[in-house]
Structure 1
């Protein structure tokens, strides 16, 4: 049930959906009534504030953990790569499709190629409510890409059961019980998700070094368009950030992180 509710949060905390609801409310309100103007005013305010790239970028910069230079990462036994970066709904299913979080994969590969980790643990089964029948786990799909990039199978470990961040931590802990030589870890996930992931891993007794990837923020700009021009993409970015903030709070309440 918690897994399903977490997916519904993504819809409930979508500014785009709020904007649509306000416009629909204005349409059904009485033409001569005062509520039509109020609904339209609220929609305009949401568009001006929620569509402002500067505001959402500033908020995202505060929430995301800062980048970690490769040189600052002490050599570790393994990197833990969290999944959630493939697109399951695209066919033909004869290849791996990556979404905007693909930096998780490339950053884990970078750590390996730079000699900062000796192995890569890929943690994740499927985070879809209705996984495509017959599809392999996301962890196995990403392992295919790592092997194509030259990482030997002996350097890859798979955890294929987890569906969310809490299970990533729980099942990685169980996997490590069979590999006692792996003691030091680097955790690779999206920068906006790193706080929650670190908390979940700490709850199960694992304390990896963070290596944030897949940044949704950019360096601040001094251009007028950055500060003044509304953007529908900004609404989507607010939705993702709000979803993560609520998810973090829910995990805190349940004692997951």
Structure 2
């Protein structure tokens, strides 16, 4: 039930849905003065929502900062790679399609190839309400093998549908591998807070290794502050989704 309710909440919290609701309200509002109020609200949402500087500052405050390699142990036992970066609905289904979060995969691979982790645990089933075909963990494993990682160094957790289940099912997997003690958690920088909280609640203490940064360095250039950007609205959607997820997880005791 929680899984399905979370999908409904995702839809309700989309800024584009808010914008559509404001425009529909303006369309049916009477008298004309009320129409203007709804249109003004929609205009403010567009003005603020497409400002790159505002969303970048908000994300800079929320994202976990990059972790220098010097802060990692010489070699941890495993990197835990959280999925959520593939496009299972794209055809033909003869390859793996990666989305914006592919940096999670490349960072985990980099840690392995640099000798900073002995193996990679891929955690993730499918976050879709209705799904068929290979899990995201299977797809990530395919790419890891093609990148030269031996199958013996890849462990798969293929049941999880959300961050809480990532943590719970990874702990269950580790029960069969007592030699794996030190973990490096690889997920998007905006997702690290919630992921770390879930893993801590499950009794695991991984070292965070944020990836997939959606922020840029602050700039004094006019286009950073003044030029509207459609990508900014997408970033607000991402941040609102993650903040709502963190608050919800905290409220129900998952963190």
Q: Indicate the TM-score class for this superposition, using the shorter chain for normalisation.
A: over 0.9
Report the Cα distance in structure 1 between the residues aligned to 2:102 and 2:134, rounded to whole angstroms: 18
Query: Cα distance, 1:9 vs. partner?
Result: 2.0
Q: Runs of 5+ in structure 2 lacking a partner?
A: none
Residues in 2 aligned to 1:17 and 1:70: alpha-carbon distance in whole angstroms: 41
Match of 1:57 in 2: 56
Moved more, 87-96 or 2-11: 2-11
Which of structure 1's runs of 4+ aligned residues deviate more than 4 A? none
Q: Which residue of 1 aligns with 2:213?
A: 215
Q: How does 1:139-158 map to 2 (within 5 A)?
A: 139-158=137-156
Match of 2:230 among 232, 235, 249: 232
1:62-121 deviations in Å (ceiling 9; x for gaps):
000001122321120000000111101100111101100000000000100111100000
Structure 1 distance, partners of 2:214, 2:8, is 22
> 1:16 is matched with which residue?
16
Q: 1:188 maps to what in 2? A: 186
**Counterpart in the other structure of 1:109:** 109
CA distance in structure 2 between the partners assigned to 1:80 and 1:147 by the alignment: 16
Aligned to 1:37: 36
Distance 1:226 1:7 in 2: 33
Question: How many pairs are equivalent?
Answer: 254
Structure 1: unaligned runs, 5 residues or longer: none
- TM-fit CA distance, 1:12: 1.1
Task: Tell me if the contact between 1:10 and 1:239 (Cα under 8 Å) persists in the aligned partners.
Answer: no
Contact (CA 8 Å) 1:70, 1:111: kept in 2 or not? no
Could you tell me how far apart the structure 2 residues matched to 1:5 and 1:232 are?
28
TM-score normalised per structure 1: 0.96
Superimposed CA distance per residue, residues 6-34 of structure 1 (whole angstroms, 9 cap, x where no aligned partner): 1222211111111111112212223x521
Aligned to 2:204: 206
Q: How far apart in 2 are the matches of 1:196 and 1:29?
A: 40
Q: Aligned-pair RMSD on alpha carbons? A: 1.0
Partner of 1:84: 84
